[in-house]
Amino acid sequence: MLYGWTGKILRVDLTSGAVTTIETERYIPDFVGGVGIAARIAWEELAPGVDAFDDGNMLFLMVGPLTGTLASGAGRVEVLGIAPQQRPSIFSRSSMGGHWGAELKYAGFDGVVVQGRAGAPVYLWVHDGEAELRDAAHLWGRGTYGTTRALRMAHGPQTRVVSCGQAGEAGSRIAVVQTETGNAAGQGGFGAVMGTKLLKAIAVRGTGAVRVAQPRTLLDLCLNGSREGQSPQTFDYRRWMEQRSGGEKATFRMKKCGFCATPCQFTMTHNAELRQGPSVPSVAMQCWGYEQVPRRSDAVTRAMTSDYGLNGWEIAYGIIPWLELCKQHGLIDTLDGIDIPIPDEPILYRRDAVPWPAEAIEALIKKIAFRDGELGDALADGACYAGERLFGGAGADLLDRIYPRRAGQTTHWAGHWGTGGNIYWPHWLPPTLQWCVDTRDPASDSTHQWAEHVMRYIEGNRSPHPGPIPMERVRHVCAAVYGHPDVCDPDITYDPPEVKAIPALWHSHRAMLVNSLVLCDREHSRVFSMLTEDNVADTAMMARLFSACTGYDVTQADLDRAGERIWTLLRALDVRNFRRDRRVDLSSLNAFTLPGRDDGVTLDPVKFERLLDSYYELSGWDRSTGWPTRERLAALGMPDVADGLEDAGKLGGSDRNTRHQDEHKEPEAQTRRPVVVR
Amino acid sequence: MPALPRSGVIVADEARCLTCRECEVACSLLHEDVCSPNLSRIRIEFNDFVADGPSIVLCKQCDWPACYYACANLWDEPAIRIDAATGARCIDPELCHGCGACLRACPLTPERTVIGQRPRERGRVYFKCDLCYDRPEGPVCVAICPGQALTYVPAGERRR
C-alpha cells in the first residue's frame, strides 16, 4: 500500500478533452513529488522549441507526499511550466499556500498536469477521485473572486478553487494563478498560461484521506517539532503590522495558509472600511504592499490586484518605480492624464521612490488588467518586456537597477534594488549566485532563509542591528550545517570561492526538497535557531517527516541527494530546451554590478566568475559551459538524462559539445553594461 | 433518571484562530490514523470573502446530552458512554449500530453538529469528540493549535 502519496496524477488534455491519470509510483521515491515529479515529466515530454503560449506548453499544479498531512507547511502547491514572465520564456516554478493543495490530496491526486488548448473556455472539476472538464463560458471575463464564488455556489462552500483573472485571460505575462483571496502563484505569469489554454479554473472538493505509514510518529513529530517560525525572536509581527498600516488605525488579524504552524500573513481591515460592512474581503498581506496614500485604501488595491489576477509584487516594486524612473529621465509625464509623482532626488533604490495616490494605483491596475491603451498593453507584460516597447526602448537601460532582466523579476533579498531586509556585503554574494543559476527570483524558496538568517541571527554582519549569535557560535553552526565553518564569515569575500558557493547550492537543494515534499521553506530550511542550546536548527526534520508519512526509511542525506537530483534535472531541462549556459547565467549580473544598497560595495565581475566556477564544480557541471556532466548525472541515478543531453550536443565536459556551444552565440544574453543614473 | 456527571469541554477563542485547520488533521490522525479533515471531530469554517472571522465548530459535551439519551433509549447496549475521568460523551465504535439517532438528536444538527460518520465493512459508524480521553496530555487539537485558540476546561472548572 502507498502511504503519503495518493498514487495518481491527473493528466488533462484540453485539446481532446481527455482526462487520464499518471501513476505516481513511476517517479518515487527518486523524484519525491511536487517539483521533482513535474521536472521529470517535463524532461520526458516537453520538447525543445516550445514557447510559453504554445499549445505544447504544459502546466503543472503539483503537491507532494507530505501535502495534506500534519507536517507544518503542508498546504502548499507548486505551479510549473514554461513561464512567460521570464525573458526568454523558460521552464520555471512558482508556489502558493492556501487550502487548494491539501484539498487535491483529499480528492485523491498528487498533481494536475494540463496540456493542449481548449476550443472554448472550460474549467476542471475534481472531486473524490473523479475529474471532468466543464463549460466555463459563464465564468470567462470574471475576476478570480467572482469565479471562486460562482464555483462555490455550484459545487458547495467547501470547494477550493484556483483560477486566473481577467489578466490571465488577456495573456498578461504578469498574470497569477490565484486561490482564496490572498494566495497566488505569483511569479512566472502562469495565469496567462491558464488563460491562453482557455482553462479558467480548477475547482476541487475532496473528502478522502491521506494515509500515513506511522501515524503516532508523525503526530509526535508535529507536536514536538520546532516552533521557531512562531517565535517572537524570529519575527516581530506586531511591529511589522504597525509599519504596514502607516500609522493609520486598522484592525489586524493573523492568518496562515492551511495546514501550517507558522503564521506569516495577516489581514488588515482599516477601520474606515470595516464600517462599510462585510463586503470587503479580508486580503492576506504577506511582505509586499503598495506604498500609497492614504494607506487605508491599500486593502482595496490589493483586492483589485488579486481579483484581476495580477502580480502585485511586479506592479508595486517593478512597474511603479520604473515609471517614476522614466519620468525622472523625461520619458513619460503622466499616466494618461494622471500625474506620476516623483521624488526630488534621483531614484537609486526602491526606498527612494515615492508613494502614489490610491487613485493612480487603481487606474494603473485597471489599465494593466485590461491591456488598456498603448501603455496598459505594454505594461501588462511586465516592465522588462514593456521597456523594449515603450518610449522607443529608451527606458530599457533604466531597468538594470531593478531587474536581472533575463528573469523579468525584481531583485529580492539580495542587497541591491531593495525588496527584502538589509543584507550586507559580502552576504549578498550567495544570493547573487542563486540569481545567476536559477530560472526565477530565487528568494521565494532559496535565498530567503540564507538572507534572513545572516540578517537576524549573526553578530558582525555589519548591519546596524546585529544578530544575537556570537561569531564563534556562528562558525560552529556553519560547520554543522554547511560543512564549512567560514560560510557566514563577513571578512571572507571572493576567496576561497567555495565559501559563497556552498550556501548558494545548499539552499537551492533544500528549496527543491521543500518544493517536492511539498512544504514551506519558512520552517524547513532553517540553519540557525534561538530555541536550541547550540543554535543549530533541526535540519533533519524533513527526513523524519518523510519517513513517518511514506514508510520509506530515509536519512536527511538521502533526501538532500534527492534535492540535488531534482535541481540538476531542472538544470538539464533548462540546458536542453532553453539554451541555458554560463553566458546566460552571467547575464543576471546586470542588476548586481551596481553599488549595494546597504553597503555601497560594487561587485567585481571578474572575481565573481571564480565563485561561479566553484558553484559549477560543486554541482558537477562543466566549468566552461555550465552544462551538467555525465559523471554527476550518473551518480545521481540519471544516466538517461546524460544521454539526452549528449543527443542534444549539450553534455558538459566533452570537447565536441564545447565547440557546438560556440556556434550559438546569442547577442541578447550578453551582460549589459551598468547604467549610470545622473 | 439520575443526573449524569458533567463533562470537561474544549473552549474556543475564535479571534485567535488562524484557520490553518491543523486541529482537524491532528484529530483525524489520532482517532483514525489518517490525515483527513472529513474525519475530524472539530471543524473550522471560514470564508475569506467576508470580513467576519472563522467559526470553530466543537462538541459542547452537553450537561443533558441528547445524543447519549437517544442512543440509550434505542439500544439495550448503548454505544455512547460517559468517560469516567473526563466526563466526555464518547461513542464506542465497536458498539455503534450506525443508526444515526445521536446525530438526529443533537440540538446542533444540522449546521453546527460535529457528529460525523464513516463507512465500515457493513453499514457505517458514527463518531464524535471524546476529548481524547485516552490521551494523558489531554485533547490533541488543544495541543497542536499554533494560535492557542483552544483551551481544555475540566468538568470541575466548567462554568454553569
The interface residues of chain A toward chain B in range 72-91, judged by CB-CB distance below 8 A, are: 72, 75
- Predicted pLDDT of residue A573: 98
Binned at pLDDT 50, 70 and 90, residue A462 comes out as: confident
Q: Is residue A51 a contact partner of residue A42, using CB atoms and an 8 Å limit?
A: no
Last residue of a domain, one of A205, A236, A263: A205
Q: Is the dihedral of CA B152, B156, B159, B160 positive or negative?
A: positive
Half-sphere exposure in the Cβ direction for A187 (13 Å, CA): 24
Contact list in A for residue B15 (CB cut-off 8 A) is 253
Cα distance between the two ends of chain B: 21
A582 vs chain B: nearest CA distance in angstroms? Answer: 43
Binned at pLDDT 50, 70 and 90, residue A419 comes out as: confident
SS3 (DSSP) at A279: coil
Other CB atoms within a 10 A radius of the CB of residue B54 amount to 21
3-state SS record for chain B: CCCCCCCCEEEECHHHCCCCCHHHHHHHHHHHCEECHHHCCCEEECCCCCCCCCEEECCCCCCCCHHHHHHHHHCCCCCEEECCCCCCEEECCCCCCCCCHHHHHCCCCCCCCCCEEEECCCCEEEECCCCCCCCCCCCHHHHHCCCCCEEEECHHHCCC
Please name the residue of chain A whose CA is at the shortest distance from the CA of residue B36: A209
Please name the residue of chain B whose CA is at the shortest distance from the CA of residue A65: B35
Binned at pLDDT 50, 70 and 90, residue B153 comes out as: very high
Residue-wise pLDDT for A424-433, tens only, equals: 999 999 999 9
Share in percent of chain A as helix, strand, coil (round to 5): 40, 15, 45
Q: Is A64 within 8 Å of chain B by CB?
A: no
Q: Looking at the partner chain, which of B29, B36, B37 has a beta carbon nearest the beta carbon of A218? A: B29
Binned at pLDDT 50, 70 and 90, residue A395 comes out as: very high
Q: Looking at the partner chain, which of A222, A280, A284 has a beta carbon nearest the beta carbon of B51? A: A280
Poorest-confidence range of A274-283, A287-296, A471-480, A629-638?
A274-283
* Strongest mean pLDDT among A239-253, A280-294, B87-101: B87-101
Residues from B contacting A (CB-CB < 8 Å) are 15, 18-22, 25-26, 28-30, 32-39, 47-53, 140, 143-144, 146-147
B157 vs chain A: nearest CA distance in angstroms? Answer: 26
Q: Is residue A455 a contact partner of residue A421, using CB atoms and an 8 Å limit?
A: yes
Using CA atoms of B29, B31, B33, B36 in order, give the dihedral in degrees to the nearest 10: -50
Cell of A93: 516554478
Q: Can you give the CATH number for the domain in which A587 is found?
A: 1.10.599
- Predicted pLDDT of residue A532: 87
- Predicted pLDDT of residue A229: 64
A469 vs chain B: nearest CA distance in angstroms? Answer: 26
The interface residues of chain A toward chain B in range 116-175, judged by CB-CB distance below 8 A, are: 145, 148-149, 157
- Predicted pLDDT of residue A421: 81
Query: Among all chains, which residue has been given the C-alpha cell 500500500?
Result: A1
Q: What is the mean pLDDT of chain A?
A: 90
B34 vs chain A: nearest CA distance in angstroms? Answer: 5
Contact list in B for residue A106 (CB cut-off 8 A) is 36-38
Query: Among all chains, which residue has been given the C-alpha cell 475521568?
Result: B85
Using CA atoms of A503, A507, A510, A512 in order, give the dihedral in degrees to the nearest 10: -130
Cα separation of A163 and A190, whole Å?
10
Q: Is residue A323 a contact partner of residue A330, using CB atoms and an 8 Å limit?
A: no
**B143–A257 C-beta distance less than 8 A:** no
B131 vs chain A: nearest CA distance in angstroms? Answer: 17
**A261–B22 C-beta distance less than 8 A:** yes
User: What domain count does chain A have?
Assistant: 2
Cα separation of A91 and A102, whole Å?
24
Residue at B75: amino acid letter: W
For the residues A307-312, what does the mean pLDDT come to? 95
Binned at pLDDT 50, 70 and 90, residue B48 comes out as: confident
Query: What DSSP element (H or E) covers A299?
Result: helix A298-308
Query: Among all chains, which residue has been given the C-alpha cell 475532496?
Result: A206
**A260–B33 C-beta distance less than 8 A:** no
- Predicted pLDDT of residue A69: 97
pLDDT of A481 strictly over 90: yes
SS3 (DSSP) at A627: coil
**B144–A259 C-beta distance less than 8 A:** no
In terms of residue numbers, what domain contains A550? Answer: 472-669
Cα separation of A61 and A109, whole Å?
11
- Predicted pLDDT of residue A198: 98
Poorest-confidence range of B50-54, B120-124, B155-159?
B50-54
Q: Is residue A475 a contact partner of residue A483, using CB atoms and an 8 Å limit?
A: no
A563 vs chain B: nearest CA distance in angstroms? Answer: 25
**A262–B28 C-beta distance less than 8 A:** no
- Predicted pLDDT of residue A661: 47
> How many Cβ contacts (< 8 angstroms) between chains A and B?
109
Please name the residue of chain B whose CA is at the shortest distance from the CA of residue A97: B20
Q: Looking at the partner chain, which of A72, A99, A210 has a beta carbon nearest the beta carbon of B35? A: A210
- Predicted pLDDT of residue A238: 67
**A208–B25 C-beta distance less than 8 A:** no
Cell of A166: 481577467
**A253–B53 C-beta distance less than 8 A:** yes
Last residue of a domain, one of A187, A205, A223: A205
Yes or no: is domain B9-157 CATH 3.40.50.300?
no
Using CA atoms of B54, B55, B56, B58 in order, give the dihedral in degrees to the nearest 10: -170
- Predicted pLDDT of residue A678: 38
- Predicted pLDDT of residue A270: 59
For the residues A93-110, what does the mean pLDDT come to? 96
Last residue of a domain, one of A190, A205, A220: A205
* DSSP secondary structure letter of residue A390: G
For the residues A515-521, what does the mean pLDDT come to? 93
The interface residues of chain A toward chain B in range 185-214, judged by CB-CB distance below 8 A, are: 207-212
**B48–A223 C-beta distance less than 8 A:** no
The backbone region for B60, taken as left when phi is positive above 0, alpha when psi lies in -120 to 50, beta otherwise, is alpha
B75 vs chain A: nearest CA distance in angstroms? Answer: 30
Comparing CA positions, the residue from A136, A84, A81 lying closest to residue A111 is A81
| Buried-state track A537-558, b at ≥16 Cβ within 10 A, e below 16 | bbbebbbbbbbbbbebebebee
- Predicted pLDDT of residue A269: 64
For the residues A53-65, what does the mean pLDDT come to? 97
Cα distance between the two ends of chain A: 67
pLDDT of A665 strictly over 50: no
How large is the C-alpha radius of gyration of chain B? 15
**B26–A70 C-beta distance less than 8 A:** yes
pLDDT of A13 strictly over 90: yes
Query: Among all chains, which residue has been given the C-alpha cell 527584502?
Result: A420
Sheet holding A8-13, edge to edge: A18-23, A8-13, A111-115, A59-62, A77-83, A90-96
Q: Looking at the partner chain, which of B34, B143, B147 has a beta carbon nearest the beta carbon of A223? A: B143
Cα separation of A520 and A96, whole Å?
9
Query: Among all chains, which residue has been given the C-alpha cell 500534519?
Result: A70
**B49–A149 C-beta distance less than 8 A:** yes
Q: What is the mean pLDDT of chain B?
A: 93
Contact list in A for residue B19 (CB cut-off 8 A) is 255-256, 258
For the residues A588-614, what does the mean pLDDT come to? 93
SS3 (DSSP) at A310: strand
Query: What φ, ψ does residue A80 adopt, rounded to 5°?
Result: -135, 160
Q: Which residues contact B41 (CB under 8 A, 6 or more apart)?
A: B27, B31, B59, B114, B116, B127, B128, B129, B130
- Predicted pLDDT of residue B51: 66
Please name the residue of chain B whose CA is at the shortest distance from the CA of residue A214: B33
Other CB atoms within a 10 A radius of the CB of residue A515 amount to 30
**B140–A69 C-beta distance less than 8 A:** no
- Predicted pLDDT of residue A670: 41
**B32–A219 C-beta distance less than 8 A:** no
Helices (H), A22-143: 34-45, 100-106
A105 vs chain B: nearest CA distance in angstroms? Answer: 10
- Predicted pLDDT of residue A466: 79
pLDDT of A603 strictly over 60: yes
| Pairing relationship of beta strands A199-205 and A122-127 according to DSSP bridges | parallel
Residue-wise pLDDT for A189-238, tens only, equals: 999 999 999 999 999 999 999 999 999 999 999 998 766 766 555 556 66
Query: What φ, ψ does residue A295 adopt, rounded to 5°?
Result: -65, -30
SS3 (DSSP) at A338: strand
Residue at A239: amino acid letter: R
| Interface test with chain B among A99, A252, A519, by most B beta carbons within 10 Å | A99
Binned at pLDDT 50, 70 and 90, residue A286 comes out as: low
Higher pLDDT, B47 or A85: A85
The interface residues of chain A toward chain B in range 252-271, judged by CB-CB distance below 8 A, are: 253-263, 269
Domain range list for chain B: 9-157
**What pTM was computed for the model?**
0.93
- A314 domain residue, yes or no: no
Binned at pLDDT 50, 70 and 90, residue B160 comes out as: low
Cα separation of A648 and A101, whole Å?
36
3-state SS record for A205-244: ECCCCEECCCHHHHHHHHHHCCCHHHCCCCCCHHHHHHHH
Interface predicted TM-score (ipTM):
0.96
C-alpha angle A61/A63/A65, rounded to 5°? 160
Poorest-confidence range of A301-305, A385-389, A458-462?
A458-462
Contact list in A for residue B30 (CB cut-off 8 A) is 215, 219
What is the residue-wise DSSP string for A497-561? THHHHHHHHHHHHHHHHHHHHT--HHHHS--B-SSSTTSB--TTHHHHHHHHHH-----HHHHHH
Poorest-confidence range of A227-231, A246-250, A477-481, A612-616?
A227-231
Please name the residue of chain A whose CA is at the shortest distance from the CA of residue B22: A259
Cα separation of A10 and A61, whole Å?
10
A67 vs chain B: nearest CA distance in angstroms? Answer: 10
What is the residue-wise DSSP string for A420-438? SS---TTTTHHHHHHHHHS
Q: Is A602 within 8 Å of chain B by CB?
A: no
Cα separation of A482 and A486, whole Å?
9
- Predicted pLDDT of residue A230: 62
pLDDT of A667 strictly over 60: no
Cα separation of A281 and B50, whole Å?
5
Q: Is A117 exposed, middle or buried (0-12, 13-18, 19+ CB in 10 A)?
A: middle
Cα separation of A580 and B140, whole Å?
50
